Chains A and B, each alone.
Chain A
């Protein structure tokens, strides 16, 4: 899977590493911006209150 990704990327090794870093950053950014806030609403059962 990731091996295929590595082979699909063009250019020399340094460019592939750069592209991978860019892809990784984009992936983490979109996770933090859209996916994680949504996941949090699904599993949000943390209560800080007493008497419930």
Chain B
């Protein structure tokens, strides 16, 4: 980039702002190519981490919203919490918690709602954690197919990207004790309460055990496990978030009060 030094003092009057005359030097062209390559890499990163990420997040959210609506419409279910379910202090007995069969790979089994991730956050949960699920425009969150289903004693474990590809778990580090994690399925709404984070190596497969970290133990509780990358914009570690199953309510009872407004708004938009 030392063109200015090499250039003889014979500039065209006015308009080429000190750039070299038509004489092209190898170093000059090479330098420009290298700078261009650098700019391209930065552009790609910006595209991947923000531009395409935002587009995919939006797509995945809309796709989850339509799946949610479809189940509600099929069941002819209400969009508001029903009067007898309105008071969270008085638990309503809806009978035993249903446990669905695992679907085929890539099929949607539920919709994830996490109010802590934003008032409009929703993602489809599909079967399998391969890239065709995690990098999909319409899915984004995948269930480990060797774990349990929602509501089942044991571990309902799902994975999503922390950044890029819609960043389904971008804000996972902001979960606080007691935060609700809702999973809507064709059967109803499963409510989990966030319990704790754990930071592990990528090889720590035992966080997926029915009792996480204790592969030999028999499960009593039903828990949800969210796995994603840590730190942000890196894949060196994994951040694991555990939630404990609290309750189930059928679609006919309406959505849990905390997400009722969101679910109703999704119907109006769709």
Contact = CB atoms under 8 A, between A and B. Distances in A.
A3 B169 CA distance: 46
B202 interface: yes
A52 B200 CA distance: 13
A41 B205 CA distance: 26
Contacts of B161: 46, 48
A1 to B, nearest CB: 5
A14 to B, nearest CB: 11
Nearest to A39: B44
Interface string B179-209: 0000000000000000000001011111110
Contacts of A47: 202, 229, 235
B221 to A, nearest CB: 20
B16 A4 contact: no
Q: Which residue, A31, A37, A47, has most C-beta atoms of chain B within 10 A?
A: A47
A40 B47 CA distance: 10
Interface stretch (B20-28, B60-68, B110-118): B20-28
Secondary structure class of chain B's binding surface, majority of residues: mixed
Given A1-B24, A2-B32, A7-B22, A50 B208 contact: yes
Contact of B228 (A1, A3, A40, A48): A48
Contacts of B134: 48-49
A32 B47 contact: yes
B48 A49 contact: no
A33 B94 CA distance: 49
A36 B48 contact: yes
B265 to A, nearest CB: 29
B205 to A, nearest CB: 2
A4 B3 CA distance: 14
Interface of A: 1-4, 6-7, 13, 28, 31-32, 36-37, 39-40, 44, 46-52
